[in-house]
């Protein structure tokens, strides 16, 4: 009997232990489901990356470019995490970080740990981070206050406007970029939601492209009220003779008017692939200087997207530009989600919510309407 009682006690203890273990596992699972996921877990990557598809083994002369500050380190790391996992761990293109303020040692160490690629840090010349000498400061301040009141934002956005102006053209002249031909702009906090099966830099070079985008939308009317008038003035004074893609920027005649009209389409430049020689070209620099003197960045709400999009449409043939519709990209509420790639299980996004499906999108319009337009047919009305 003592032996039986001992065995019974053993099995009771064992059963109790199993129950406690099972309970602990349930609690752990519940807690893990309620706790925030780590940065690594926020994006589900394919177990087996497709073999890279590119025309050659040599890297092109390209780099990633970020204009940011030390305070944005967390956002920078999130974006670099995506870029490395989705693409650059197989190619090791360098990163160029630019700021009007020196980056802290902590920032520099932290971003270097994110990649095996080389990392370059550069300072932006102070002349690009202040108001141009021709700006009427009273008018600029009134414009900033009016915009702030209408959009419920801070009126003190001078740093943002300086950054916009820098991205519009001076970035290509920065000494840190002199050695590079191609620039892939990265926006801190943006996400890349699909694995890359080819090298976009190599695609740009092998197809002779000058510009690539992922998302394009119509700008709000109150942001660029005089941009098109400025563009028409430039066209009349400079009389450009080369190719253009103005068909993308022009809406067809309607019952309201017999003329073609500016539709305010813009490329979202927080993702862009650019042949820097295009921005460095005499034609681009002349157009930028003309628009810069119009001061719409400071008196209205022109952005680098406004200026870059106009330059692309005025100066490049459609064959020089590509909508990278196969790139999974998300920034704030806007995203590009490729349905084809998603069916291959390379993406973590919903194709039905891709921004190119909304009425204000100009992405698909590029493939449908980008064409050369005779300047004589364009109206300023």
What are the residue numbers of the active site?
A: 272
Tokens of 82: 């995506």
Query: Starting at the edge strand that comes first in sequence, how are the strands of the sheet with 329-331 ordered?
Result: 191-192, 329-331, 334-336
What number of CA atoms fall less than 13 Å from residue 123's CA on the CB side?
Answer: 7
User: Alpha carbon of 242 to those of 64, 313, 316, 317: distances in Å?
Assistant: 30, 11, 8, 9
Extended beta strands in the chain, E state: 62-67, 95-99, 119-123, 182-185, 191-192, 211-213, 216-218, 250-251, 261-262, 265-267, 272-275, 321-323, 329-331, 334-336
Q: Give the dihedral of Cα atoms 295, 297, 302, 308; nearest 10 deg.
A: 90
CA distance 172 to 279: 6
Tokens of 274: 């650019």
Pairing of strands 119-123, 95-99: parallel
């Amino acid at each position: 009997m003592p032996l039986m009682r001992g065995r019974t006690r053993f099995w009771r203890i064992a059963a109790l232990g199993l129950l406690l273990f099972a309970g602990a596992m349930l609690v752990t699972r519940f807690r893990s489901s309620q706790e925030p996921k780590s940065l690594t877990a926020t994006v589900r990557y394919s177990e087996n990356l497709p073999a890279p598809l590119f025309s050659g083994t040599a890297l092109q002369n390209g780099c990633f470019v970020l204009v940011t500050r030390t305070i944005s380190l967390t956002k920078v790391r999130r974006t670099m995490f995506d870029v490395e996992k989705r693409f650059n761990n197989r190619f090791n293109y360098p990163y160029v970080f630019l700021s009007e303020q020196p980056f802290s040692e902590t920032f520099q160490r932290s971003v270097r740990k994110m990649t095996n690629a080389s990392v370059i840090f550069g300072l932006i010349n102070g002349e690009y981070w202040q108001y141009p000498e021709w700006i009427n400061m009273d008018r600029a301040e009134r414009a900033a206050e009016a915009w702030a009141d209408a959009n419920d934002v801070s009126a003190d956005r001078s740093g943002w406007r300086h950054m916009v102006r820098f991205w519009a053209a001076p970035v290509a002249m920065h000494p840190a970029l002199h050695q590079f031909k191609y620039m892939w702009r990265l926006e801190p906090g943006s996400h890349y939601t699909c694995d890359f099966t080819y090298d976009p830099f190599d695609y740009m070079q092998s197809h002779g492209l000058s510009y690539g985008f992922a998302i394009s939308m119509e700008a709000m009317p109150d942001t660029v009220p005089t941009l098109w008038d400025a563009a028409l003035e430039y066209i009349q004074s400079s009389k450009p003779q080369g190719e253009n893609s103005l068909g993308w920027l022009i809406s067809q005649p309607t019952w309201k008017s017999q003329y073609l009209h500016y539709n305010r389409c813009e490329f979202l430049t927080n993702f862009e692939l650019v042949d820097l020689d295009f921005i460095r070209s005499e034609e681009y620099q002349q157009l930028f200087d003309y628009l810069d003197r119009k001061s719409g960045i400071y008196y209205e709400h022109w952005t680098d997207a406004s200026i870059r999009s106009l330059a692309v449409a005025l100066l490049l043939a459609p064959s020089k530009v590509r909508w990278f519709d196969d790139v999974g990209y998300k920034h704030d509420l806007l995203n590009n989600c490729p349905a084809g790639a998603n069916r291959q299980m390379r993406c973590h996004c919903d194709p039905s919510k891709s921004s190119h499906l909304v009425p204000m999108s100009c992405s698909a319009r590029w493939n449908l309407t980008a064409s050369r337009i005779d300047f004589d047919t364009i109206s300023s009305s």
